[in-house]
């Protein structure tokens, strides 16, 4: 009996060895980000809370690849957002609400299918000194309300040639009898060489509200960063338009100027964001943000941030962070981020 058990263990170990070898290109990763947030300026008064995902959304993900031969690779990512302060799922309770896609990569480029970030979102993340996190994230005001993720989408990324690359995206609306309803289309171009990073992105989303009001939402962003070593300069402009009914009509031009100052393990972040409302309402807004990070190690970072929005003519933009939309026009953050 003991010999049979021993043989079974040996056979099982051999099978596991082959399986583990086949799956050795699969990696688990994540971020645990928690901190204290103080918000003020909202209708309900000051709010003090412990929040998950201030600098970066807390998450648990899996990604991997398989060499198919001939220069072709199969890839996948399954990325789950987590509200670490309560243990609940983020993104409205979706299991893999951050990303979920499979694709093929080769000499001709990369093709991905699934739930993916939009090119506007990836552009703002690359251009923003706050990386779309902390109280100072540019998206509190800059292209506020843009679509950040698209379901049922196909994206293509070209190879990089001389620092240049391009991307295309198409999202299926999947509305019976109307292929154009809720359809998404996007395009982006990037140039990266030495200290210069230049990015342009556009997206056009057909919208359909619960009141069956059809319209379009368009965003175009152009921005750049230049790394001088002692300081990294950030700048971006955008135009946004939406025609999905009076309550959601948007016609604006946005500006962001920012800087990142690295000093050893320290980083000082700053940005100025201006939203010019071109509608008759003229609901302009200006945001000032400042932040500080201290790298305890390669994976653990302490941070603090502050932002204030000056809303005019009835504008009601809120100071949020990477996960929370916020409740007032002013907020402080103090927290810890750990990546694994």
Question: Residue 331: inside a domain, yes or no?
Answer: yes
Q: Specify the pLDDT at position 172.
A: 97
- Domain that includes residue 287, residue range: 117-339
The answer to whether residues 317 and 329 touch, using CB atoms and an 8 Å cutoff, is yes
pLDDT surpassing 90 at residue 15: no
Check residue 174 and report its DSSP letter.
-
Q: What is the CATH number of the domain that holds 236?
A: 2.40.160.10
Q: What separation in angstroms does the CA of 12 have from each of 2, 3, 9, 23?
A: 15, 14, 5, 16
Q: How many domains does the chain have?
A: 1
Question: Residue 5: inside a domain, yes or no?
Answer: no
How far is it, in rounded angstroms, from Cα 251 to Cα 256?
A: 17
- Put simply, whether the predicted model's pTM sits higher than 0.75 gets the answer yes
- Report the pLDDT averaged over residues 257-286: 97
Question: Residue 164: inside a domain, yes or no?
Answer: yes
Q: Specify the pLDDT at position 3.
A: 47
Residue position matching structure tokens 């996948």: 76
pLDDT surpassing 60 at residue 21: no
pLDDT surpassing 50 at residue 228: yes
How far is it, in rounded angstroms, from Cα 71 to Cα 315?
A: 52
Q: Which tokens sit at 5?
A: 């058990």
Question: Residue 43: inside a domain, yes or no?
Answer: no
pLDDT surpassing 60 at residue 7: no
Question: Residue 100: inside a domain, yes or no?
Answer: no
Q: Specify the pLDDT at position 211.
A: 54
Three-state DSSP class for 178?
Answer: strand
Question: Residue 215: inside a domain, yes or no?
Answer: yes
Q: Specify the pLDDT at position 249.
A: 84
Among 235, 287, 268, 55, which residue's Cα sits nearest to residue 128? 235
How far is it, in rounded angstroms, from Cα 236 to Cα 146?
A: 15
Rounded to whole angstroms, the maximal C-alpha distance in the chain is 86
Q: Which tokens sit at 84?
A: 């670490």
Residue 267, beta-bridge partner list: 262, 293
Q: What separation in angstroms does the CA of 43 have from each of 37, 46, 165, 284, 326?
A: 17, 9, 46, 19, 12
Three-state DSSP class for 231?
Answer: coil
Question: Residue 74: inside a domain, yes or no?
Answer: no
Tell me: the pLDDT tens digits for 144-153?
889 999 999 9
The answer to whether residues 187 and 202 touch, using CB atoms and an 8 Å cutoff, is yes
Question: Residue 226: inside a domain, yes or no?
Answer: yes
């Amino acid at each position: 009996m003991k010999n049979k058990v021993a043989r079974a263990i040996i056979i099982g170990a051999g099978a596991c060895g082959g399986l583990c070898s086949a799956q050795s290109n699969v990696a688990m990763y994540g971020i645990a980000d928690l901190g204290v947030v103080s918000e003020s300026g909202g209708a309900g008064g000051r709010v003090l809370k412990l929040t998950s995902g201030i600098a970066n959304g807390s998450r648990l993900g899996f990604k991997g690849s398989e060499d198919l031969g001939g220069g072709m690779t199969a890839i996948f990512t399954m990325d789950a957002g987590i509200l670490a302060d309560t243990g609940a799922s983020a993104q409205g309770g979706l299991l893999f609400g951050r990303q979920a896609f499979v694709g093929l990569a080769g000499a001709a480029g990369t093709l991905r299918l699934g739930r993916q970030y939009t090119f506007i979102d990836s552009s703002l993340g690359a251009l923003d000194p706050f990386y779309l996190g902390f109280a100072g994230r540019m998206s509190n005001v800059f292209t506020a309300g843009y679509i950040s993720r698209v379901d049922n989408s196909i994206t293509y990324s070209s190879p990089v040639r001389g620092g240049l690359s391009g991307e295309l995206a198409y999202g299926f609306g999947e509305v019976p009898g109307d292929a154009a309803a809720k359809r998404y289309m996007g395009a982006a171009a990037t140039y990266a060489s030495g200290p210069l990073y230049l990015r342009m992105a556009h997206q056009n989303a057909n919208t359909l509200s619960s009141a069956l009001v059809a319209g379009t939402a368009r965003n175009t962003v152009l921005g750049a960063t230049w790394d001088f070593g002692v300081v990294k300069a950030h700048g971006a402009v955008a135009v946004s338009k939406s025609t999905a009914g009076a309550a959601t009509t948007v016609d604006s031009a946005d500006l962001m100027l920012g800087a990142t100052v690295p000093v050893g393990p320290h980083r000082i972040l700053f940005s100025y964001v201006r939203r010019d409302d071109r509608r008759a309402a003229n609901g302009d807004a200006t945001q000032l943000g400042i932040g500080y990070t201290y790298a305890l190690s390669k994976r653990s970072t302490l941070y603090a941030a502050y932002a204030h929005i000056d809303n005019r003519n009835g504008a009601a933009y809120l100071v949020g962070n990477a996960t929370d939309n916020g409740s007032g026009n002013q907020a402080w953050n103090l927290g810890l981020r750990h990546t694994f």
